[in-house]
Amino acid sequence: MILNWMVRMTSDLENNIVSVERIKEYADIITEVRQSTIDNRKLWRSRLLMYKGRANRCIHLVIK
Is 54 a residue whose pLDDT tops 70?
no
At 28-42, the pLDDT tens digits run 887 665 656 666 667
Q: Where are the domains of the chain?
A: 2-50
Distances (CA, A) of 41 to 7, 46, 47: 58, 9, 10
d(CA 61, CA 46): 19
What's the alpha-carbon Rg for the chain, to the nearest Å? 29
Of the pLDDT bands very low, low, confident and very high (cuts 50, 70, 90), residue 22 is very high
Is 20 a residue whose pLDDT tops 70?
yes
d(CA 39, CA 45): 10
Q: 3-state DSSP call for residue 29? A: coil
